[in-house]
């Protein structure tokens, strides 16, 4: 099987990113970009992001998860702590997040350290989830091998009966991580592949060093 993609080309011309007009704190630029994309660029899931971890087998692995909250401290998402992703983070908390908003011709790459959030925060988010999603977190032993789809469906039916009329508590193996950034790179597509790239790096005094990178 072979397909030549060398003639796939696109001209990027929807915006610019210059050192003269970026804030000192990259989290403010993230907020502004996120709101602009969410409001004006018809992206179905603006909060979809790729998280890359280093697995126990020594290989990096990337997958898409959903950002659920961002603050000046970092970026929060939820998962099964015993999953392949969770085990990788426990072994090596250095991760990379990336957002690619094609319709806005923008990309953000974030390096940081992941750590579990407080249990009461995970409890609060779990309580806000639809009941089906709550049960789903219990049904799935995430990343483990299963016989077939029916095994999941049967376990879900059993749990629906078990919890009928009852409150569903968050399982201790499921909860949130916050990724505290040490570096953020903002990428804006430009014509002739001369893209704008602005990088923020956290310094020892907790200020951010801002640099323009060659495309």
CA distances from 13 to 9, 55, 104, 181, 195 (A): 13, 37, 9, 29, 10
Instruction: Kindly tell me the sign of the dihedral angle through the C-alpha atoms of 137, 138, 143, 149.
Output: negative
User: 132 by DSSP, 3-state: which?
Assistant: helix
> Which residues 6+ apart lie within 8 Å of 23 measured at CB?
29, 32
**Nearest residue to 45 via CA among 102, 108, 128:** 102
User: What distance in Å separates the CA atoms of residue 26 and residue 88, rounded to the nearest whole number?
Assistant: 27
User: 40 by DSSP, 3-state: which?
Assistant: helix
Catalytically active residues are: 193
- Beta strands 106-116 and 174-188: pairing type? antiparallel
């Amino acid at each position: 099987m072979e397909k030549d993609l060398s003639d796939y080309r696109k001209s990027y011309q929807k915006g610019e990113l210059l050192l003269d007009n970026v804030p000192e704190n990259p989290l403010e630029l993230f907020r502004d970009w996120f709101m602009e994309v969410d409001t004006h660029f018809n992206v179905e899931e603006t909060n979809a992001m790729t998280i890359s971890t280093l697995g126990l087998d020594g290989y990096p692995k990337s997958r898409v998860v959903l950002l659920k909250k961002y603050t000046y401290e970092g970026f929060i998402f939820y998962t099964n702590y015993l999953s392949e992703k969770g085990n990788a983070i426990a072994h090596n908390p250095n991760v990379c997040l990336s957002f690619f908003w094609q319709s806005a011709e923008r990309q953000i790459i974030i390096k940081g350290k992941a750590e579990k959030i407080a249990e009461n925060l995970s409890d609060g988010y779990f309580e806000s989830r639809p009941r089906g999603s709550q049960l789903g977190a219990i049904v799935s032993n995430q990343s483990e091998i299963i016989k077939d789809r029916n095994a999941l469906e049967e376990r879900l039916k059993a749990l629906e009966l078990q919890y009928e009329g009852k409150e569903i508590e968050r399982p201790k193996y499921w909860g949130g991580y916050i990724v505290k950034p040490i570096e953020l790179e903002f990428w804006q597509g430009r014509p002739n592949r001369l893209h704008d790239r602005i990088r923020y790096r956290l310094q020892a005094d907790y200020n951010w060093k801002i640099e323009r990178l060659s495309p």
